[in-house]
Every structure is written in C-alpha cells, then in structure tokens.
Amino acid sequence: MTASASTAGGGRPSAPESGYEPDPRRWRALWVTLVAGFMSLLDVTIVAVALPTIQRDLHATPAEVQWVVSGYALTFALALVTAGRLGDALDRRRIFLLALSGFVIFSAACGAAPDITLLVLARLCQGLAAGFMAPQNSALIQQMFRGEERGRAFGFFGATVGISSAIGPITGGAVLALASGEQGWRWIFYVNVPIGLLAVLLGRRLLPRIERRGRWSVDVLGILLLGTGVLALMYPLVQADSGGLQRLWWLFPVAVMLLLGFVLWQRRLVAREKQPLLDPRLFTTVRGYAVGAGVGTLYFVGFSGVWLVFALFYQHGLGYSPLKSGLAVTAFALGSASAAVLAGRLVERFGRVLTVCGLVGVILGLGGTALLLRLAPLGIAPWVAAPVLFLGGVGSGFVVSPNITMTLRDVPVRMAGAAGGALQTGQRLGAAVGTAALPGLFYVVLGSTHGDYRTALVTALVAALVGMAASLALAAFDWHRDRPARRAHRKCPDEVADNPVHARHT
C-alpha cells in the first residue's frame, strides 16, 4: 500500500486522509505487529517472577535486581512520544523493523549477561527498543485500516495490551518450570529471539511502505523537555522499593515545571506554524482523544499494580510456586482475551458505554475477588474466586480495547505515531504509579498487622479500585456528555459526519 502524508505543520488537524486503498496483506501484517507488541509489553511483567533466582545467580543486591524491571519500564516510557513522532515524519515500517531487530539483539544480550551490571544495561537498551517499536503498532493500524475494520483491528490490539499485562506472571512461571536449574531464568529472555526473528522476516515482507512528501524537522527542545520531564516523574517511582519516594520527592515539582514548559513550547511552535513533537491540538480538537488518554492512565494505575500484589500474596503468603501463582490469576487473562476481541467489533455501535460497563465489571470482579480471598478458607480461596476474577477480566476486555479505539480512531494518520506514543506514555506513567504504590501499601499493611497477608491484599486491592473508580467517573462523564451528538448522528448520520460543527470536541 502506498499513501501520501503531509507534514504535521501548521493548520488544524484534519480528518483522516482520503484516497485509502485497502492492502490485501493488511490482516497478516497486523499479526506481525501484534506479536511484536505482545513481546514488548509481556517483558514488563514476565521478569518479576524470576527476580529471586536472578539475584541469587548473579549475587546482586535487592536494589540492583530491581533495576531489571524498573529500568526497562523507564526507558520504554522515555522513548514513546519521540519514537511516534519520528515514525510519522520518516517511515513507520523502517523504525518498527529496526526497533524490533534491536529488541531481539538486546533480549539475547539479557539472556547471556554474565553479571548484574551488564544485565541491567541490556535491559535499559531493550526497553528503549520496545519504546521505539510500540507507537508504530497503533500508527500502522491507523494507516492500514479504516471504518469498522479499524475497530476490529484495535480490538485485537487492545486484547494484546490487556493479555500481555495479565499473563506475564504465569508465562514467567511456566518458563521457569520448564527451564529447570539456576540458569533457567535466562530463557525468559531467550524466548524472544526466535519469535522476534520470525517477526522481522515477515514484517519486511508484509508491512506497508509509505511515501513521505514535504520537509520535516526535529523538535530538539521538545524532546529534551518531555524526556527530562518524564524521567523526573518516573525515576522516584521506579526507585520506590529502595526509598526513592522519600529521597527523590523533589523531582516531582521539577517534573511539573519541565512538562509545563513542554506544553508552552509546543503551543508556541503551533502558533508559529512549525512542527511540534506532540501537537497540543490532539487534546483540544480531536474527538475523544483527551478523555481516552485520561481514562487509560487512571485505569492502568490500578490495573498494573494488582498483578504484583497477587504474586506477593500467593508466593510469599501462601507459598505457591511462580507457576501456581500465575495459574491462580489465569481466569482474568481468559476473560480479558475473549471480551477484547468481541469489544472491538461492538465499539463502533455502542461507543463509550462499553468502557463504562467494562469498568463496572472490573470493579465488581476485583472487589468480589478481594472479598472471597478475605473470607474463604485459604486452601480453596483462589479457586473459589476464579469465576469472579473471570468477570473482572471480561470487564477489562471491554475497557482497554474500546478505549484505545475511541481514543485513536479520529486521529489523522499523519499524526498517528505521536498520538499513540502519548497515549501509551500515559499508560506507562499510570503503570509506574500503580506498581510503586500498591506493593508499597501491601508491605506497609503487612508490617503493621504482623504478617496478615489477607488484610494486606485486601487493602491494596481496594486502593487499586479507587483508581479504577476515578477512571469510571471520567468515562461516565464523557458518555453522558456525548449523548446529544449520538442522538443527532442517529437522526442524520451523513449530515453530522459532514458537518464538523456537530462533532464533539474534548
């Protein structure tokens, strides 16, 4: 498929470009991007179950081994917006394939690392490659699909995001169970190599090329302001386990000033009809983008942290193996997978109400799980809670997939990479907050109750539900506000579609 793309310079963000011709290979190309995206997101959580083994084998300190997880998350988040903008300006296909190749190389380097220093360095580079690859996934969907097909494609993408986050613990446990011995943790990284190489080969054959016209420029100051702002915001969070919040709290106001400076600089570039790193009009004129980014960020605060809390409860509190601990939360992943694909088919018809219903399902599912794990006998509690956890997974499938679709579907294709990068940056920031706050709260309650794992679990899950309730409030507000536009669309869809006055702006 060949398409032209204008630069992201002056002028109001337009509707998605016309002249679209569907590529007959688009669905096969989609699966290449989904496999790559699945690997990059899975690596956020899969390593957590192997940290004790890595620490023993490499004779590392707890602070050093924590960087194996937090370092990856940090560089992942730092690269997203810049990588998305470069994909928009240059060639998404080329950046995707280069980043995927780097991800494979650094995965092999992680597996072969002889000491903790080289392992952390390889993980930092692996996270950077993942950050360059991730925004190209959603941008390529924008480029390859239109209309209802785009909703279906984002449905699969949303399923990938939700499932990869949920099944990281069980996948890591399964790899450790199959690769016995102290060196078995290395296969958590090695499994990426053959899968990634196959994805590179198929991607070279199937991914569409795009011709770029016009000049483009790099917003160096924007990259520096955003990068240092995100770094200042995330660094205390990724260092939370070693007292980072107490030592580095002063970085939070620094982050606010840097990010405010970034926003002001982007507005100035737009006013001067220059090319910004992240066009602020995405948040003010593109329907659904600002609300969708907020819903996703708040949801991931609770969603990402609960898996670490479950792992702590099952492995330390009940003495489960990593594999058995992962199996105890499999019901959520199954529910999320089945619902996300279905939600992708329904989002064009029902819109934001799917997110509202999904969030209600997640809150009921995790709330019911907390109640059952608190009251039921410990020997059977995880399995009694499985049906309720499945309900939570179904709800999650109706949150992640439709929200991604509604957030990105009206973004012009020429801005799709930067928009996808900004959306995922918000999700990564939310995940960083959740993974720092919820396990920290778990340990605080555990210490104050003299080892009462049930109370610690319930308290952490209730805190996660607060973040999800805030996401629900925002989604419900958006759904209620959009009702007049939906009624007008049902009365005269063609007129509304052609008349931007009737479009809702967020």
Closest CA to 348 of 139, 153, 140: 153
Residues 6+ apart with CB under 8 A from 275: 7, 8, 9, 89, 216, 217, 219, 269
Tokens of 391: 């309900």
In order, the DSSP letters of 401-425 are HHHHHHHHTTS-GGGHHHHHHHHHH
How far apart CA 479 and CA 353 sit, in angstroms, is 6
Residues 6+ positions from 206 with CB-CB distance below 8 Å: 25, 28, 29, 32
E strand or H helix at 449, and its extent? none
Tokens linked to 318: 């009940």
Nearest-angstrom CA–CA distance, 65 and 110: 13
- State residue 134's pLDDT score: 87
Q: What is the pLDDT of residue 101?
A: 95
Structure-token match 């599912």, residue found? 365
pLDDT tens digits along 207-255: 887 766 556 677 888 888 988 888 888 888 777 666 777 788 898 899 9
State the Cα–Cα distance between residues 232 and 257, nearest whole angstrom: 10
Confidence of residue 120 (pLDDT cuts 50, 70, 90): very high
Separation CA 463–CA 367 (nearest Å):
11
Q: What is the pLDDT of residues 265-293, one digit of tens each?
A: 988 988 888 878 888 888 888 888 888 89
Instruction: Tell me how far apart the alpha carbons of residues 331 and 81 are, in angstroms, rounded to a whole number.
Output: 33
Tell me, what's the pLDDT at 61? 82
CA distance 459 to 256: 30
**pLDDT exceeds cutoff 50 at 480:** yes
Amino acid code (one letter) for 148? E
Which pLDDT belongs to residue 3? Answer: 40
Query: Going by C-beta distance under 8 Å and a sequence separation of 6 or more, which residues neighbour residue 180?
Result: none
What is the pLDDT averaged over residues 393-422? 83
Residue 321, φ and ψ in degrees, nearest 5: -75, 165
Q: 54-95: per-residue pLDDT in tens?
A: 888 898 887 788 788 878 888 888 888 888 888 877 788 899
* 1, 145, 194 from 24: Cα distances, Å: 9, 11, 27
> Nearest CA to 258 among 294, 289, 282, 223?
223
- Tokens standing for 400? 């992640």
Q: Flag whether pLDDT at 399 surpasses 60.
A: yes
Contact 144/153 with Cβ under 8 angstroms?
yes
Between 131 and 169, whose confidence is greater?
131
Percentage of residues of the chain with pLDDT beyond 70:
88
Dist. CA 445–CA 60, nearest whole Å = 27
The Cα–Cα gap between 70 and 308 comes to 13
Average pLDDT over residues 43-54: 79
Rounded to the nearest integer, the mean pLDDT of the chain is 81
pLDDT at 503: 41
Beta-bridge mates of residue 5: 212
Element at 243 (helix H, strand E):
none
> With 60 as the cut, is the pLDDT of residue 504 above it?
no
User: What's the pTM value of the predicted model, to 2 decimals?
Assistant: 0.77
